[in-house]
Structure 1
């Protein structure tokens, strides 16, 4: 089992361009540096996916690990947005949770299944800047 961080950890697909944009968005808007990141291609990311019942070779789910609990799909996205400091992102996270899961999760999963075709894929994983490096797990 992978040791879990005290800070919430976001496991993302490091070669997915949409996922990399999401991480860049969070690096910009998470001014308190609350979240840490692990690509699903890393040992730590794979371990977290396995520990929370997700297939690291075929993840269709975004994973947030917070306080020892794993959150996926739109629940994870809503929790992350609500955890940001700016009022508009907190509001958006709360509004997302008002939609029924049976409506929001299938839409999320459709995008997740087709993310490479819709948004593209890079040949290598997202690389943080030296200033951001401490926020990433290996």
Structure 2
């Protein structure tokens, strides 16, 4: 079974939940599904794709049977958005080490910048069909 276009995100992080909502509003084809990292399905997918949950704490993108993490996940996700957002991929030509350092800096400080919820964010009824295993 080919698994395509699934974003795993930190469901208690306001920045990550906001990013998910940003993606949903700007997608070209509405072909991305979502699951929180804290959900049963999120944990199962991390394990299935060999992603160490201790090394990933914000966003993972699964596309064509491959899991992308950190800045690579971000650049893969924005490729699915309407213009002008895919233009941000120009930054993917910077060294991966640099892009991941920027990503890690944001990820490390995301709760300080945007806050954290007590429990996972749940989508509205109109968005719920886009989410896999929303209770976690």
Partner residue, 1:131: 126
Stretch moving more, 19-28 or 47-56: 47-56
Q: CA RMSD in A?
A: 1.8
- Asked if the contact 1:10/1:63 (under 8 Å) is kept, the reply is yes
Q: Give the count of matched residue pairs.
A: 133
- Asked if the contact 1:60/1:109 (under 8 Å) is kept, the reply is no
Residue of 66, 85, 89 corresponding to 2:85: 89
CA distance in 2, matches of 1:130, 1:15: 19
Question: Is the counterpart of residue 42 in structure 1 residue 39 in structure 2?
Answer: yes
Question: Is the counterpart of residue 54 in structure 1 residue 51 in structure 2?
Answer: yes
Question: Is the counterpart of residue 33 in structure 1 residue 30 in structure 2?
Answer: yes
- Asked if the contact 2:78/2:85 (under 8 Å) is kept, the reply is yes
How far off its partner does 1:54 sit? 2.9
**What TM-score does the superposition give when structure 1 sets the normalisation length?**
0.86
Question: Is the counterpart of residue 114 in structure 1 residue 81 in structure 2?
Answer: no
Gapped runs of 5+ residues in structure 1?
Answer: none
CA distance in 2, matches of 1:64, 1:82: 12
- Asked if the contact 1:61/1:109 (under 8 Å) is kept, the reply is no
Deviations, residues 42-90 of structure 1 (Å, cap 9, x unaligned): 1111111222333436633521000100001111101111121x22112
Residue of 13, 18, 21 corresponding to 1:16: 13
Deviations, residues 1-40 of structure 1 (Å, cap 9, x unaligned): xx763x3100000000100110110111114211100001
Q: For 1:63, what is the secondary structure of its paired residue?
A: strand
**What TM-score does the superposition give when structure 2 sets the normalisation length?**
0.88
CA distance in 1, matches of 2:2, 2:45: 8
